Amino acid sequence: MKNIAIIGCGNMGGGHALAIGYGTGYTDWQLPQMIDDEIEAVTTDISKILHLSGIYDIDVKRQEWARKEGFYVYQSLEEVLEDPEVDIVLIALPNHLHAEVAVRAMRAGKHVLCEKPVTPVSSELEEVLKVSKETGKVFYPRQNRRWDPDYLVVKRMYDEQLAGRPLSLENRIGGGGADGPFGWRSEKRYGGGMMLDWGVHLIDRIVQMNKSKIKQIFCQIINLTGSDVDEGFNLTLIFEDGFIAYIESGAGHFDSPVPGWRLNGTKGIGEVITFTGEGAKVIKAKPRDPGFVRDFNSLPVRKPAVKRGEGPSWFAAPPMDNEIVELERPIYDRNALYRNLVDCIEGKAEQLVTGEEALRVLKIMEAALHSGEINAVVDFE
């Protein structure tokens, strides 16, 4: 059992407090449809590995909320770092404060679980990782969406080549309206913007699927309200092995039935629409008879939407017979990151999310933002 204290108890920190404090891993926004008996059976019981020592936040209202929930409230950051019972600090502060607090915590003898993005710029993270090595303390990036069910099912499609050899991948995530990022996330000086908020997760998951180098990056930045941060982005990653990933994210994008994931392969496509991973399917063209010849003369006459040249067109022709394979929602441990964190501290395992992986993702985001600024493709690795 390890004792953990939370530094910063806003939206994310409060969710952590509920998840750890009650030992379930649930947060106040946890989707009920994501939980069932099968998932519960493989989910780590946080109460057996972590104990919440308390929280620290400068906001009086958040302090009052924590007390009402029954959590101890530290009066200062120093009190947290000087508490000999605290093994781990979880940093859930505005992004620009992560590096400073992480360094102080590790030098005070604490292991660190840090919310993403672990730092707004790569140079800060490089310094944090140096201190982690010097002190021997674990610095763990909380890039936890590697365990999301929608990602796990599309990763299975990719790894097992269920749609054939993967050619390209599209990943989209929308917001709830046209207001853009809110709070400190709407200000650049605090490390705001959608790239640092959601880009870190979306990029991290894709580079976990495709391990080859990224040759080129192109990004288009979207700004809706005139704030000084990116409020959305369209990002293209071109890998050395020819694979292409397209990522679209925006706080002002309304959710729609457009698939959150679309994997294009040599034998078909894979789609995942819901965040819960339900309804995932692979659509493959049925194998043709070796002697198959399409009789275009027997096709119904259709008025073309656009003028085109004479002769058959595969794009205008009726679709071929397809085979649809529906995939079950994956069974996963939603608390796997917490378990791995404790196992790493106890010397039982290696980090599943490393500082070096977080550093690469951060550098990809920096290159993407630069591409958006100059509106041009940039070379990367």
Token pair in block for residue 50: 């972590």
Q: Which residue has the tokens 């990029």?
A: 203
Q: Are 137 and 111 in contact (CB under 8 A)?
A: yes
Q: Cα dihedral sign for 54, 57, 63, 68?
A: negative
pLDDT at residue 225 in the model = 72
Residue 298 pLDDT exceeds 60 = no
**What is the Rg, in whole angstroms, of the alpha carbon atoms belonging to the chain?**
24
CA distance 119 to 129: 11
**Using 50, 70 and 90 to split pLDDT, how confident is the model at 29?**
very low
SS3 195: helix
Does pLDDT of 112 surpass 80? yes
Range ranked top by mean pLDDT from 29-43, 79-93, 264-278, 280-294 = 79-93
User: Which residue intervals of 22-97 are DSSP H helices?
Assistant: 37-42, 60-68, 77-82
Contacts of 273 (CB under 8 A, 6+ apart): 257, 258, 259, 260, 279, 280
Q: Which two tokens stand for residue 88?
A: 């781990």
Give the CA distances from residue 120 to residues 189, 195, 364, 371, in Å, rounded to whole numbers and listed in that order: 9, 10, 12, 17
Taking a C-beta distance cutoff of 8 angstroms, is the pair 341, 353 a contact?
no
Q: Under DSSP, is residue 161 helix (H, G, I), strand (E, B) or coil?
A: coil
Q: Does residue 312 surpass a pLDDT of 60?
A: no
Residue 288 has pLDDT above 90, yes or no: no
Burial class (CB in 10 A: 0-12, 13-18, 19+), 248: buried
Beta-carbon count within 10 A of 256 CB: 9
Reported as a single tens digit per residue, the pLDDT across 208-267 is: 999 999 999 999 998 877 777 777 899 999 999 999 999 998 755 555 556 689 999 999
Alpha-carbon dihedral sign for residues 194, 336, 62, 5: negative
Cα(95)–Cα(204) distance, rounded to whole angstroms? 18
With beta carbons less than 8 A apart as the criterion, state whether 195 and 233 touch.
yes
CA distance 10 to 377: 37
Judged against a pLDDT cut of 90, whether residue 125 lies above it is answered with yes
Residue range 193-210, pLDDT digits in tens: 889 988 999 999 999 999
Q: Residue 143 class from Cβ within 10 Å (0-12 exposed, 13-18 middle, 19+ buried)?
A: buried
Distance CA 59, CA 64 (A): 9
Q: Considering only 66-80, 241-255, 288-302, 312-326, which range has the smallest mean pLDDT?
A: 288-302
Q: Please tell me the predicted confidence (pLDDT) of residue 31.
A: 47
Across 351-359, average pLDDT? 98
For residue 355, the surrounding DSSP H or E stretch is: helix 355-374
Strand order in the sheet with 378-379: 322-326, 281-285, 268-272, 261-265, 166-175, 244-254, 232-239, 214-222, 378-379
Domains along the chain with CATH numbers: 2-143+332-352 (3.40.50.720), 147-330+363-379 (3.30.360.10)
Comparison of pLDDT for 11 and 217, the residue scoring more:
217
User: Which one-letter amino acid corresponds to residue 115?
Assistant: E
